[in-house]
Amino acid sequence: MTDEREPSRQRQERERDQRTGSSAAATRIQHQARWVDLQIQRAMERGDFDDLPGAGKPLGDLGAPEDREWWLRKLIEREQITGVLPPALQLRKEDAELDALLDRETAERRVRDLVDDFNRRVVEARRQLQGGPPVVTPTRDVDAAVEAWRERLRARRTPPPAPPEPPRTRRWWRRR
């Protein structure tokens, strides 16, 4: 009889396969590995691995140095996570993208609201004494931003000039 409190290692050593003399756990692992290989082989025969996304493309980052935070970087890229920068860097990024954001708007009131909100966040970040880089992003003049938005809007609405027509040449078979 075995004691219920007997350590599992001692129990495993005592559980030996009668034919091979190896432990039962090793035999189970070996059978499981064969079963997995068989399932993979059957899936290949059925064509389950054909036309997978990324087939024929190189695996990325194989030659890159060891990166302990690789999983975090991949998660941010895959999920397109934004807004995790320190306030100073986030405001710099928003400042660089602000004109493109304003160009998507159609109403002047909305453009003014966006610039006012941006300026409010810049001033608020300057008041905060949090760690990280200093806030060097300048505030935007609302009237100048609206005027620049109007100019870009006019430029988009004005159709580009038509390209000059190429000169007509006479073909030898169309003599007059």
The model carries a pTM of 0.48
What pLDDT, on the 0 to 100 scale, is given for residue 14?
Answer: 58
Give every residue of the chain whose pLDDT is below 70, as ranges. 1-22, 61-64, 83, 130, 170, 172, 174-176
Chain Cα centroid distance, residue 57: 18
Q: In terms of Cα–Cα distance, which of 157, 160, 151 is closest to 108? A: 151
